[in-house]
Amino acid sequence: NAGVMQNPRHLVRRRGQEARLRCSPMKGHSHVYWYRQLPEEGLKFMVYLQKENIIDESGMPKERFSAEFPKEGPSILRIQQVVRGDSAAYFCASSPTTGEVQPQHFGDGTRLSIL
C-alpha cells in the first residue's frame, strides 16, 4: 500500500470531540475517495473528491461529517461531535486522472476509537 498515506493510523476520541483524518494520495493522483469499514463488514463508500471539488458525497452521513481536498495539502475527513457508532476503520483511496477507468489504490487506514 505504499503511496497513499493516511494519518494518524490510530485515533482515540471521547464522545463529543472532533476527529480529523488526513489522506495524501499517490503521486500523480488527483482523485480521492473515502470509505468506512465497520467491524465484520465490507467497505462502504463515503465521498469522492477531486482538487477543490466534491464529486459524489452520496455515502456521507447528512450531519457531523465533512470532507475536503484543497488545492494544496492532503484531503481531510472531519467528524464533529463524535459518537460511539463512529468507531470504525476509515480508508482513503486514490486514482489517477485519465480517460480510462483505473483501479483505486488504498492507504492503510485510520482506526478511530470513540471512548
Partner 1 sequence: DQQVKQNSPSLSVQEGRISILNCDYTNSMFDYFLWYKKYPAEGPTFLISISSIKDKNEDGRFTVFLNKSAKHLSLHIVPSQPGDSAVYFCAASDNQGGKLIFGQGTELSVKP
**Closer CB to partner 1, 68 or 108, in the complex:** 108
Cell of 16: 463529543
Min. distance of Cβ 27 from partner 1 in angstroms? Answer: 17
Q: In the block, which residue shows the cell 489522506?
A: 23
Indicate the burial class of 69 (C-beta count within 10 angstroms; 0-12, 13-18, 19 or more). buried
Cell of 57: 458525497
**Closer CB to partner 1, 41 or 72, in the complex:** 41
Min. distance of Cβ 21 from partner 1 in angstroms? Answer: 13
Min. distance of Cβ 109 from partner 1 in angstroms? Answer: 5
Min. distance of Cβ 110 from partner 1 in angstroms? Answer: 10
**Residues of the shown chain interacting with partner 1 in the complex, contacts defined by CB under 8 A:** 1, 4, 6, 31, 33, 35, 41-45, 48, 55-56, 58-59, 91, 93, 95, 101, 103-109, 111
**Closer CB to partner 1, 24 or 95, in the complex:** 95
Distances (CA, A) of 65 to 3, 39, 40, 58, 96: 25, 20, 22, 12, 25
- In the sheet with 19-24, reading across from the earlier edge strand, the strands are 5-7, 19-24, 75-79, 65-68
